[in-house]
Structures are given as structure tokens and as C-alpha cells.
């Protein structure tokens, strides 16, 4: 009787985690082919991204907006610093608190950045620097 129960258990074939088809081949197999494996993992990752986006939409949207505003200010790509009025940027929707990175320079000033645009608040003005390489903390 114990042999019959063991053979009945082995006859139950596992199914693919993605499409539900019966699996053949080695023991422990989870997917019927590479496409099902990729589609399953893509579905899992997209679900996680959707949860993140629902949780952080304001921050992501504001960072994108900050970047677009800085790009539209026609800041030259030759690493020169320009001064912009904080009031004008704020009217456009710029919020200096939202950034992708932050650095403290050797003068102990906090520079924030969105990708390759760095800014420093100085009173009512914002000092903006476009830099293609790593941030230079000596400025």
C-alpha cells in the first residue's frame, strides 16, 4: 500500500507558475519555458513598481518637474554657475527640497542635485551648476 501512495504522488505533475500548463522534465521545475519565467518575473516586478509609484507619486513627479525646469533654463553645459531668482523658479513649480542627491562642499554648504544639475540656495537666489562629470566639492 505504501508503494501505491508513493507512485500516486509522483504521478501528480506540477504546473507552470505562469501559464498553469503541466510541467515535464526535472524535479523542482517551476516554469514550462523561458518565456513563462520572464513573463512571471516581469509581472511581479511591475506590481512592485506600481505599489512604489502609488506610494511616492508626489516626490517622483516633483523631481521630474525640477529637472524639466532646470533644463528649460538654458544653463550652458560648460560647467559655469548661474544665479536664478528663487521666486521665479518657485512660480514655475520648482521645489528645491526635492532632489536625487545631495553633497556638502568643503565650505560646509549643501548642494542638491537632479541628475547633472546642482543647486545651492543662497538667500532668495539659487545658484545653479550644470556638470557632466562628478561633482567638484571645491567650488
Q: How many CB atoms lie within 10 A of CB 67?
A: 19
Give this prediction's pTM.
0.53
Q: How confident is residue 54, by pLDDT bands cut at 50, 70 and 90? A: confident
Please tell me whether residue 87 adopts helix, strand or coil conformation.
helix
Contact 99, 66 (CB under 8 A): yes
The model's confidence at residue 32, banded by pLDDT at 50, 70 and 90, is: very high
* Angstrom distance (rounded) from CA 52 to CA 43: 14
What pLDDT, in 10s, does the model give residues 65-82? 998 888 887 765 555 778
Domain coordinates in residue numbering, the chain: 2-55, 57-130
Amino acid at each position: 500500500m505504501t508503494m501505491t501512495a508513493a507512485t500516486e504522488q509522483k504521478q501528480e505533475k506540477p504546473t507552470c507558475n505562469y501559464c498553469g500548463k503541466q510541467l515535464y522534465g526535472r524535479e523542482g521545475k517551476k516554469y514550462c519555458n523561458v518565456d513563462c519565467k520572464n513573463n512571471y518575473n516581469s509581472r511581479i516586478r511591475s506590481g512592485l513598481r506600481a505599489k512604489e509609484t502609488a506610494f511616492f507619486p508626489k516626490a517622483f513627479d516633483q523631481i521630474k518637474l525640477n529637472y524639466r525646469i532646470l533644463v528649460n533654463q538654458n544653463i550652458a553645459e560648460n560647467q559655469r554657475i548661474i544665479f536664478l531668482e528663487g521666486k521665479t523658479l518657485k512660480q514655475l513649480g520648482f521645489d528645491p527640497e526635492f532632489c536625487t542627491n545631495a553633497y556638502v562642499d568643503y565650505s560646509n554648504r549643501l548642494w542638491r542635485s537632479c541628475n547633472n544639475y546642482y543647486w545651492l540656495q543662497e538667500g532668495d537666489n539659487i545658484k545653479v551648476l550644470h556638470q557632466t562629470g562628478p561633482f567638484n566639492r571645491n567650488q
